[in-house]
Amino acid sequence: MFRLCISIKRVLLSYMFGNLTPKVGIDLGTTSILVFVPGQGIVLNEPSVVAVSDDNKVLAVGTEAKLMIGRTPENIRAYRPMKDGVIADYRVTEAMLRYFLRKSMSRYHLLRPDVMVSVPAGVTSTERRAVVEAAIKAGAKNAFVVKEPILAAIGAGVPIYEPQGHMIVDIGGGTIDAAVISLGGIVAANSVKCAGNRIDAAIIDYVKKTRNLSIGDKTAEEIKIIVGSALPLEEELSMEIKGRDMVTGLPRTTEIKSNEVVKAINKELREMIKAIKDVFQNTPPELAADIIDGGIIMTGGTSQLRNFPELIRRRTGVKAYVADQALFCVAKGTGTALEHLDVYKRAVLAKK
């Protein structure tokens, strides 16, 4: 009888603490990190930047660290530990994840959370394992890894388990992930390391060649957002930019217009369109027919580039549209998948 009571007590405690285990979803992007907590929504949206001193001490993370980019003395380095959607600096990424987990969790939570992290569609088993281990060392009880197109589809409200083809194109800072999803799995996919950051680099290059002006990543990103476009505009937008003159070395101001940006980023956009076309070539005819009817769903920050859906329609012949809250789709997908792990268990790639 005594043993039976002990067993029942253990089962009850296990059930109670199993339900009390906090859950956290992380969209681990090259440019920014979004943290989703079920019941609360997106609780954090900060740049994936870390400031590190010469003696490898982490000085700042997120928004505070981004403000330091290009403004630090020689003994401090502010940089992104994620490159092309995967971990480039393991130790710093672990420190960054620990910081974001602590910041997103209530100080009263004594239990370690179950964490779900997004990874690019073309992730290798080694890269996947590195993400899982970093999350566990950062304080997670269990770490689940799911490919970004699946999470983006869930976050966009796509019924992924239907016997119907849906095409998701998730364009972030480091990668463009294009995938055709049917019956809860990826039928055809392509992940190319050409996205928002490459567009920024192309703008920096263009301004350097045509204006003899050196500008930083932050200014290039502002140009992309404020006047950038995937197609030429009849009524051009323009903005004033500031930088360092390459000849005199002195500060200088100049103006840039939308159609110049279109010309500057043309090569990168062609590469992204090719990534989408490659997925179509590997898509079964029946699913291709479904996509023609339903269109291409675009998610991620870079998908919001002016006239990008129209460019895709012109190049592929298939209509495209940007999902509601495109920037948050992957993060929202992690939250939904965590709340319904039993439903989405087939989509989970790794667990520890």
Considering only the C-alpha atoms of the chain, give the largest distance between any 2 of them, rounded to a whole number of Å. Answer: 89
User: 1-15, 25-39, 45-59, 149-163: which range is least confident on average?
Assistant: 1-15
Please give the helix or strand (H or E) that residue 171 lies within, else none: strand 166-171
Identify which of 90, 119, 99 has the alpha carbon closest to the alpha carbon of residue 46. Answer: 99
pLDDT of residue 2: 44
4 pLDDT more than 50 = no
> Phi and psi of 84, rounded to 5°?
55, 40
Report whether pLDDT(322) > 90.
Answer: yes
pLDDT at 62: 87
DSSP structural state of residue 346: G
Examine the pLDDT at 3 and tell me if it is beyond 70.
Answer: no
Looking at residue 40, its pLDDT comes to 87
Average pLDDT over the chain reads 87
55 or 110, which is more confident: 55
Q: What pLDDT, on the 0 to 100 scale, is given for residue 30?
A: 86
- What is the average per-residue pLDDT within 249-273? 96
Q: Which of 12-21, 198-207, 287-296, 300-309 shows the lowest per-residue confidence on average (mean pLDDT)?
A: 12-21
Of 90, 101, 99, 96, nearest to 130 by C-alpha is 90
Residues 6+ apart with CB under 8 A from 93: 81, 82, 87, 134
- Nearest-angstrom CA–CA distance, 209 and 277: 31
* Average pLDDT for 322-339: 91
**Rg of the chain in Å (alpha carbons):** 22
More reliable by pLDDT, 132 or 344: 132
What 3-state class would DSSP assign to 81? coil
* Confidence band of 349 (pLDDT split at 50, 70, 90): low
Residue 59's pLDDT band, with cuts at 50, 70 and 90, is confident
Residue 274, number of CB atoms within 10 A of its CB: 14
Q: What domains are there in the chain, each with its CATH number? A: 20-150+330-351 (3.30.420.40), 157-194+268-326 (3.30.420.40), 196-266 (3.90.640.10)
Q: Is residue 60's pLDDT more than 50?
A: yes
pLDDT tens track for 102-123? 888 765 566 888 899 988 888 8
Q: What is the DSSP letter of 308?
A: H
Between 183 and 258, where is the model more confident? 258
Question: Mean pLDDT, to the nearest integer, of 97-103?
Answer: 88
